[in-house]
Chains A and B, each alone.
Chain A
Amino acid sequence: EAGVVQSPRYKIIEKKQPVAFWCNPISGHNTLYWYRQNLGQGPELLIRYENEEAVDDSQLPKDRFSAERLKGVDSTLKIQPAELGDSAVYLCASSQTQTEAFFGQGTRLTVV
Chain B
Amino acid sequence: QQQVKQSPQSLIVQKGGISIINCAYENTAFDYFPWYQQFPGKGPALLIAIRPDVSEKKEGRFTISFNKSAKQFSLHIMDSQPGDSATYFCAASKAGRRALTFGSGTRLQVQP
Contacts and interface: CB of A to CB of B under 8 A. Distances in A.
Interface in A35-56: 40-45, 48, 56
A99 B32 contact: yes
Contacts, number: 59
Sorting the interface of chain B by its residue count into under 10, 10 to 19, 20 to 34 or 35 or more gives: 20 to 34
A91 B89 CA distance: 15
Contact of B99 (A4, A48, A104, A106): A48
B43 A91 contact: yes
A43 B41 contact: no
Interface residues of A, number: 23
A88 B48 CA distance: 26
Contacts of B41: 105
Interface in A1-32: 4, 31
Interface string A71-112: 000000000000000000001010100111111111000000
B43 A4 contact: yes
Given A42-B89, A42-B103, A48-B99, A103 B43 contact: yes
Contacts of B34: 99-100
A100 B102 contact: no
A31 B97 CA distance: 11
Interface of A: 4, 31, 33, 40-45, 48, 56, 91, 93, 95, 98-106
Interface of B: 4, 6, 32, 34, 36, 41-46, 49, 89, 91, 93, 95, 97-105
